[in-house]
Amino acid sequence: MFEYAPAPESRSVVDIKPSYGLFVDGKFVDPTDGGSFKSINPASEEVLAEIAEAGSQDVDRAVRAAREAYEKVWGPMPGRDRAKYLFRIARIIQERSRELAVLESLDNGKPIKESRDVDVPLVAAHFFYYAGWADKLEHAGFGANPRPLGVAAQVIPWNFPLLMLAWKIAPALAAGNTVVLKPAETTPLTALLFAEICQQADLPAGVVNIVTGAGETGRALVEHPGVDKVAFTGSTEVGKAIARAVAGTRKKLTLELGGKAANIVFDDAPVDQAVEGIVNGIFFNQGHVCCAGSRLLVQESVADRVLESLKRRMAQLRVGDPLDKNTDIGAINSAAQLARIRELSDAGAAEGAERWSPPCELPDRGFWFAPTIFTGVTQAHRIAREEIFGPVLSVLTFRTPAEAVEKANNTPYGLSAGIWTDKGSRILWMADRLRAGVVWANTFNKFDPTSPFGGYKESGYGREGGRHGLEAYLNV
């Protein structure tokens, strides 16, 4: 046997303060009401820091700071100068990447190999990419002199805390807006470290404001009359509430919500790579991915073979300490999320689907869920319809390409889809018919700042990334 010795990344590379204030007008300030909450490490349930909770007065202060910065500094600033700040931020992110990766894994529970190799490099890439647009907006296809919107209220989720921050802040700033951003209450720490990076980059005060808190803070922010733009990534339920709240106002809205993506494997697929794609599709980031390939649609004639390979591969997944460089699957982000995953998995078993997990030892403390697949799932099962947002895969079969399309589209969501086949013409035929914002062919969960991302139907509207991502922050 070849046992890998523990290979933990050092957590001493990052300094976590005992408590954090709100980042308003370029400074860390105490909240007016003095409320606070704790952010914990989901892998150990250890308290990492005490975080200020922003009330409506704090939100108001942040929005006013953003407004003033927009009117006096950032809005009038030439694009080439805004670009300098964004390039500087991107470079500092690269320089401090180890620190950011360790902090992200501590606060979120995701394995260090993902925060190190995926999240943080993509964050830097996003800032570099949009920095390049800042002085070229007239060439983006939105007219001769596209104007920013003003103050953007941005509310982001806990699954990719820093990456979602980058997706929101980089295009907003490049287009000339200022922002007030609320990170998720379970994962605020990298956003607060980002605030320090803004200070280090000498970003003018008020251009970026970070208000921490839970649902009430978010509501105060999106409902604030002083914001011109609302951008939200999170659950469909909250997204609908936000859409109702901003209806009838001047606020421009983009939503990136839930998903229940089909990952479709045809009988001529490259099996070994398809299995990697299935694993990456659903077990990447513990399945806490809105575009996760959570429904595997496999052609019946190869289903046994694919499932056998998949189970063998799943037995190789290493679940445990997120800071260990060899960990493949880390901790579930919160007790609440773990409860939801358990509830839906139990419903799957109760409704008659067959449940399987590889033998794996889970740590005693913290929130953990073994990688799981359900076979014998039909379209009528809850686990085929509802977003689980965890390492749980539902396996369905199909007979013909048309049936695959029909089943794939038979969901209220439409964020992403995957196709696995050696036949190029079939990829194009399928991509034409799948109602999903992103269609991956012979790969899955590939992200790039140049590529637009967003949903159909109840997965939301608007696009993030690429040239298209600028539209959400321009008055067009």
Partner 1 sequence: MTATATSARSELSELGRSETALRTFLHGLPGVDQVGAEQRAAQLGTRSIKTTAKAEAIDLAIRMVDLTTLEGADTPGKVRALAAKALRPDPADPSCPHVGAVCVYPAMVPYVAEVLRGSGVHLASVATAFPSGQAPLEIKLADTRAAVEAGADEIDMVINRGAFLAGRYKEVYDEIVATKEACGDAHLKVILETGELATYDNVRRASWLAMLAGGDFIKTSTGKVPVAATPPVTLVMLEAVRDFRAATGRQVGVKPAGGIKTTKDAIKYLVMVNETVGPDWLDPDWFRFGASSLLNDLLMQRTKLTTGVYAGPDYFTLD
Quick check: 451 binds partner 1 (CB under 8 A)? no
Give 319's strand partners.
329
* Contact call for residues 457 and 129 (beta carbons, < 8 A): no
Quick check: 121 binds partner 1 (CB under 8 A)? no
Question: 36, 94, 235, 442: which one contacts partner 1 (CB under 8 A)?
Answer: 442
Quick check: 3 binds partner 1 (CB under 8 A)? yes
* Minimal distance, residue 117 CB to partner 1, in Å: 7
Quick check: 268 binds partner 1 (CB under 8 A)? yes
Choice between 81 and 268, CB closer to partner 1: 268
Name the segment binding partner 1 (CB under 8 A); options: 2-10, 133-141, 197-205, 220-228.
2-10
Please report, as residue ranges, which positions from 5 to 24 form the binding site for partner 1 (by CB under 8 A): 5-7
Quick check: 110 binds partner 1 (CB under 8 A)? no
Contacts of 56 (CB under 8 A, 6+ apart): 220
* Contact call for residues 169 and 181 (beta carbons, < 8 A): yes
- By CB neighbour count within 10 A (0-12 exposed, 13-18 middle, 19+ buried), where does 12 fall? exposed
**String of contacts with partner 1 for each residue 390-429, x by CB under 8 A:** --------------------------------x-------
Quick check: 325 binds partner 1 (CB under 8 A)? yes
Name the segment binding partner 1 (CB under 8 A); options: 150-158, 262-270, 289-297, 451-459.
262-270
Half-sphere exposure of 461 (CA within 13 A, CB side): 7
* Minimal distance, residue 313 CB to partner 1, in Å: 9
CA–CA distance, 279 with 313 (Å, rounded to integer): 8
Question: 29, 205, 214, 271: which one contacts partner 1 (CB under 8 A)?
Answer: 271
Quick check: 4 binds partner 1 (CB under 8 A)? yes
* Minimal distance, residue 266 CB to partner 1, in Å: 11
Question: 316, 359, 364, 425: which one contacts partner 1 (CB under 8 A)?
Answer: 316
Encoding tokens for residue 80?
Answer: 């080439």
Choice between 326 and 475, CB closer to partner 1: 326
Name the segment binding partner 1 (CB under 8 A); options: 1-9, 352-360, 388-396, 432-440.
1-9
* Minimal distance, residue 422 CB to partner 1, in Å: 5
Q: In what order do the strands lie in the sheet with 295-299?
A: 354-356, 372-375, 392-398, 295-299, 262-265, 416-420, 438-441
* Contact call for residues 310 and 373 (beta carbons, < 8 A): yes
Quick check: 272 binds partner 1 (CB under 8 A)? yes
Q: Could you count the other beta carbons within 10 Å of the beta carbon of residue 15?
A: 9
Name the segment binding partner 1 (CB under 8 A); options: 87-95, 103-111, 266-274, 379-387.
266-274
Quick check: 448 binds partner 1 (CB under 8 A)? no
Tokens 């606020």, residue located: 251
Sign of the Cα torsion 370, 376, 382, 388 reads positive
Name the segment binding partner 1 (CB under 8 A); options: 158-166, 207-215, 271-279, 291-299.
271-279
Question: 68, 276, 351, 403: which one contacts partner 1 (CB under 8 A)?
Answer: 276
Choice between 63 and 278, CB closer to partner 1: 278
- By CB neighbour count within 10 A (0-12 exposed, 13-18 middle, 19+ buried), where does 260 fall? buried
CA–CA distance, 476 with 471 (Å, rounded to integer): 7
Residue 353 to residues 264, 350, 382: CA-CA distances in angstroms?
A: 19, 7, 10
Sign of the Cα torsion 383, 385, 386, 391 reads positive
Question: With b meaning 16 or more CB within 10 Å and e meaning fewer, what string describes 207-229?
Answer: bbbbbbbeeebbbbbbbbeebbb
Choice between 266 and 367, CB closer to partner 1: 266
Residue 227 to residues 64, 77, 214, 416: CA-CA distances in angstroms?
A: 9, 20, 19, 30
Question: 94, 249, 443, 451: which one contacts partner 1 (CB under 8 A)?
Answer: 443
Question: 273, 301, 379, 400: which one contacts partner 1 (CB under 8 A)?
Answer: 273
Q: What angle do CA 187, 193, 199 make, to 5 degrees?
A: 145
| Positions marked active-site | 256, 290
Quick check: 171 binds partner 1 (CB under 8 A)? no
Question: 97, 235, 326, 451: which one contacts partner 1 (CB under 8 A)?
Answer: 326
Quick check: 270 binds partner 1 (CB under 8 A)? yes
Radius of gyration of the chain from its Cα atoms, rounded to whole angstroms: 22
| Chain residues in the site for partner 1 (CB under 8 A) | 1-7, 113, 117, 268-274, 276-277, 316, 325-326, 422, 442-443
